[in-house]
Amino acid sequence: MAGTDPISQFKVKTLFSFGTIGADENGANGVDLVFTNSALFMVLTVGLIATYLILSTRGRGLVPSRLQLVSEMSYEFIANMVRSSAGTEGMKFFPLVFSLFSFILIANMWGMFPYFFAVTSQIIITAALALLVMAVVIIYGVWKNGFGFLKLFVPSGIPLPILFIVVPIEVLSFLSRPLSLSLRLFGNILAGHIVLKVFAGFIVSLSALGALGMFGSILPFVMAVALTGLEFLVSALQAFVFAILTCIYLNDAIHPGH
C-alpha cells in the first residue's frame, strides 16, 4: 500500500510516547508528548546543523579548512543577505534568520532522502515558522516605532482619496504574508514530493506489466531523476526565499515608512 500511494509519505507516525501533559481527569484535551517521525527529523536537522557548525569551527583556524569554510560561507551569505535587505540594524535578527534558513534548508534536504520524512511538508510546521516571523516583526515593530509602525500601511506621497483604496490593500497584503510564507514552503515541498512519488509509482506499475512495460518505464525513470534534481534546487531555493522574505519583513519592522 505504501508502495505507490503518494500521500502516505506525509503520514506522521508515532515512534514512542512520553505521556500526556495538560490533560483533564478524563485524559482528554491534553497534548500527547509522542515522539513522531516528524519530531525525529526535526531533532536530526537541529543535530546536524549544530554538530556541523560547532565541530567544523572548533579549530578556529586562521586559514580555514574545507569544512570550516562551508560554515564561514553560510555565515557570510546570510549576513550579507540580512545586511543588504534589513540594514545594519537588522543584524540583531541575524541569528534568527540564520536559524530559520539552516533549519528549513537541512529539513528539506533530509526530506530528499528516500523513505525519510520531510518536516517542512507539514503545514503546522511551516505555519508556526511563518507566525514566528510575523510575531517578531509585529512585536519588534510596535516596540521600536510605537504607533509609527502603522505608517507601514500608509505609503507616503499619496493623495488622500487614493489612500482609502491603498490602505486596505496594504493591510490585506500584510495579513496575507504569514499565509503566503507558510503555504509557499509547504506547497512546494508537498507538491514536489507528491510528483516525485507519482513518477516513481509509474515505474513500479509499468514494470509490473511485463517486458514492454519495463521498457516503457524508462521514461518515468528519466523524469524521476530529473525531478529529483529539480527538487534539490527547490529545496535550497525555498529556504533562501523564506530567509530573504524574513529579512524584507524585518526591514518593514525596522523602517516602517515606505
Partner 1 sequence: MAEQDLTSSSILIAQAQTDTGNSEAQQPGNAAGTNDAVEEQVVQEANDAAQGITVVVEGSEVVAADPAVELHAETQGAYTEQEKSVFPPFDSSTFGPQLFWLALTFGVLYLLMSKIALPRIGEILEVRRDRIEGDLAEAERLRQKTDQAIEAFEAELAEARAKSHGIADETRAKIKSEMDAKRRDVEADLAKQVATAEARILKTKTDALANVDQIAAETAVAVVGKLAGKVSIKDARVAVSDVVKG
Partner 2 sequence: MEADAARLIGAGIATIGMGGAGVGVGIIFGNYLAAAIRNPAAAASQFSNLIFGFAVTEALGIFSLVIAFMILFA
Residues 206-245 that bind partner 1 (CB under 8 A): 208
One-letter amino acid identity for 62?
Answer: L
To partner 1, the closest distance from the beta carbon of 50 in angstroms equals 5
Could you give the count of Cα atoms lying within 13 Å of 195 in the half-sphere of its Cβ?
16
Is the Cβ of residue 53 or residue 137 nearer to partner 2 in the bound state? 137
**Cα distance from N-terminal residue to C-terminal residue, the chain:** 54
Residues 56-85, mask of contacts with partner 2 (x by CB under 8 A):
-------------------------x--xx
- 186 near partner 2 (CB under 8 A): yes
Residues 95-124 that bind partner 1 (CB under 8 A): 95-96, 98-99, 102-103, 121-124
Cα separation, 110 vs 101, in Å, equals 14
Residues 4-63 that bind partner 1 (CB under 8 A): 4-5, 7-8, 10-14, 31-36, 38-39, 42-43, 45-46, 49-50, 53-54, 57, 60-62
Residue 89 exposed, middle or buried by CB count within 10 Å (0-12, 13-18, 19+): middle
Strands (E), 25-120: 31-36
Q: Which of 39, 46, 132, 183 binds partner 2 (CB under 8 A)?
A: 183
Residues in the interface with partner 2 (CB under 8 A) total: 18
Residues in the interface with partner 1 (CB under 8 A) total: 59
Q: Which residue has the cell 523524469?
A: 223
* Residue 206 bridge partners (DSSP): none
Q: How many CB atoms lie within 10 A of CB 258?
A: 13
The option from partner 1, partner 2, none interacting with 112 (CB < 5 to 8 A, set by class) reads none
Cα separation, 130 vs 98, in Å, equals 15
- 150 near partner 2 (CB under 8 A): no
Is the Cβ of residue 18 or residue 147 nearer to partner 1 in the bound state? 18
Are the C-beta atoms of residues 61 and 70 closer than 8 Å to each other?
A: no
Q: What residues line the site for partner 2 (CB under 8 A)?
A: 7, 81, 84-85, 180, 183-184, 186-188, 190-191, 237, 240-241, 244-245, 248
